[in-house]
Chains A and B, each alone.
Chain A
Amino acid sequence: MSDLALWSLFVAVGIGTFALRFSFIGLHGRLHIPPLLKRALAYVPASVLAALVVPAVTLTGPDKSFAFDNLQIPAAIIAALVAWKSRNTLLTLLAGMGSLWLLQAIF
């Protein structure tokens, strides 16, 4: 991607994100959020994050395929358990990376 395209993308994201954040604060009282959109927004984090995590963990290699010897899968399961119990980003990262390194050293 050219420098111009890259910076155009960054600026477009910046303007778009600012518009989303400013929307109701800037137009206070003159804009109403439709009820269906409000309900839908509640499911954005779960669906988007799962859509990011699951392929990144399960599909590996340059051709992004499933492999039975993919050590990321057990490491991610351990990290998920830690996340569930601790609700702590740092602990989750440490548990996941630690298990991956340990598994890589063993297998």
Chain B
Amino acid sequence: MKHPKNQEAFLAGAKALLPLIAGVLPFGLVTGITATKQGFSTLETLGMTLLFFAGSAQLVALQLLRDGVLPLIILLTVLVINLRFMMYSASIAPHIHSLPKPLKWVLSYMLSDQAYALSIVKFTSTPSTSHLPYFFAGAALTMWLSWNVSVLLGVMLGTGIPESWSLDFAIPLAFLAILVPAIKTSPNLAAAAVGGLVAVLGIDAPYNLGMLLAAVSGISAGLAVESWQRHQLAKSKSGGTYE
């Protein structure tokens, strides 16, 4: 990062992430508060936060831990939720190929929804240069710091919050805040409807497999509606001549 242009790109990435902190902070606070109220020590919560570095996955794991679910099922559920990182990894890989190898290891660990979304827009809208990849480094590091500080703040607030505030409800609300904007198309609506319904029906499923089953059913419903739409589109394009 000795080159001044690299530094400039790094700072631009960091700056671009700043407004997103408003959304990260409440989520991190809820995570820290929940973990503390569930009886986890500061060390355990911080260890979990640093090892996961994935907010939704961490909140899900906390919920499953509270329900006494088998660790193997928790691991599987969390990895399904985190599968999206593989997609981000595939999408961003060609743009950060030129970075030094150790930095790519660190930045892989710091790959987040926010840093990915900002960087991919930047990379696809500006001509590629040798310093542009440092934009991602700036955004990723800023996100990583904001998240860990937010959770730590939540831990500090933690036990000071009375039961009568029903703060447990903040977790589904935090998920709802991400879910609603994600329902942009009818396949997504189908995925959400089926996923939610199967999760309710499967609440008593053994080993809490209901959650995993709901995720798989929802994804299948999304794919089915998408295929049906393509089929309809093909049919209307061909002038309705094939039956």
Contacts and interface: CB of A to CB of B under 8 A. Distances in A.
A92 B176 contact: yes
Nearest to B171: A56
A60 B196 CA distance: 15
A20 B83 contact: yes
B166 A33 contact: no
A6 B44 contact: yes
B191 A47 contact: yes
Interface stretch (B4-12, B104-112, B123-131, B151-159): B104-112
Interface string A58-84: 110000100000001001100110011
Nearest to B40: A6
A46 B179 contact: yes
Q: Is the interface of B mostly helix, strand, loop or mixed?
A: helix
Contacts of B50: 14
Contacts of A12: 71, 75
Nearest to B89: A24
Given A88-B23, A97-B173, A50 B192 contact: yes
Contacts of B206: none
Contacts of A84: 180-181
Interface of B: 22-23, 25-27, 30, 44, 47-48, 50-54, 56-57, 60-61, 63, 65, 71, 74-75, 78-94, 96-97, 104-105, 107-109, 111, 165-167, 169-183, 187-189, 191-200, 203-204, 210-211, 214-215, 217-219, 221-223, 226
23 contacts: A13-B75, A13-B79, A16-B82, A20-B83, A22-B109, A23-B90, A24-B86, A31-B90, A40-B223, A47-B195, A47-B217, A47-B221, A47-B222, A49-B176, A50-B193, A50-B199, A54-B195, A54-B200, A80-B176, A83-B180, A89-B174, A92-B176, A97-B167
Interface of A: 1, 5-14, 16-18, 20-26, 28, 31, 33, 36, 38-59, 64, 72, 75-76, 79-80, 83-84, 87-90, 92-93, 96-97, 100-101, 104
Which 6 A-B pairs give the minimum distances between C-beta atoms?
A47-B218, A43-B222, A54-B196, A47-B195, A14-B51, A51-B214
Given A39-B223, A44-B83, A55-B199, 19 more contacts: A9-B74, A13-B74, A21-B89, A21-B109, A22-B89, A24-B91, A36-B223, A47-B218, A48-B80, A50-B196, A53-B176, A55-B196, A59-B203, A84-B181, A87-B181, A89-B27, A90-B26, A93-B174, A96-B176
